[in-house]
Amino acid sequence: MEPSQSKSSKSSGQKAAESAGQSSMQAQGVNFTGAAGDAAGQEEWKERTIQVRRVTKVVKGGKKMSFRAVVVIGNGNGIVGLGVGKAGEVATAVQKAITEAKKELVTVPIHKKTIPHVVKSKACGSQILIRPASEGTGVIAGGAARAVFELAGIHNILCKSLGSNSPLNVARAAINSLKDLRSFDDIAASRGMSTRQMLMVAAQ
């Protein structure tokens, strides 16, 4: 009786471990449905940790040590988000950053695997200049900006980082530049003409 009981308890323990592992993967944000999931159903999300650093806060009685994580998430199909989380452990900080990124999703108007027009944006001391690129160029960007563009699903883009090279500020500037993008249809509608008429006028 004792061997059979130990075998059954072991199998139940394995099942509990598997369920705990699945719940932990869901908590880390590997696959989830958020604001974008309500519109497009369940998406396959990817995440990339840009920076994890130790920060110190002076409190009464001494200093409090914690970790700050900067995480970018995206579905590779025009939706991307940036989040920052702080906690006493790295895993908890990353999980908080993913939760915040899900609340700050940005929809990017992608035209032929690149962006529609030139944009220059800034965040604190960092500035980002992005330009459309032809097919086969690739993502010409570095550091945090590259992670944002790749997870957004942009395959060809030219990017120049100006000013501060802080990973957090560069990532925020990249997100701001994507927010400032407008599709050709929106620009044509604001001018009171069709997209074809606008392109013909621009060609002249």
Between 93 and 15, name the one with better pLDDT: 93
What percent of the chain lies above the pLDDT cut of 90? 50
For the chain, what is the mean pLDDT? 79
CA distance 29 to 99: 8
pLDDT in tens, 36-54: 444 434 568 899 999 999 9
The C-alpha angle 143, 177, 46, rounded to 5 degrees, equals 55
d(CA 127, CA 111): 23
- Asked whether the whole model's pTM tops 0.75, one would answer no
What does the pLDDT look like over 183-197, one tens digit per residue? 877 777 777 777 677
Start-to-end Cα distance in the chain: 89
Paired tokens of 62: 């001494």
Q: What does the pLDDT look like over 104-124, one tens digit per residue?
A: 899 999 888 999 889 999 898
Strands (DSSP E) contained in 39-187 are 46-59, 62-74, 79-87, 105-107, 119-123, 126-132, 139-140, 157-163
Alpha helix stretches (DSSP H) within the chain: 2-27, 35-40, 90-103, 143-152, 167-179, 184-190, 195-203
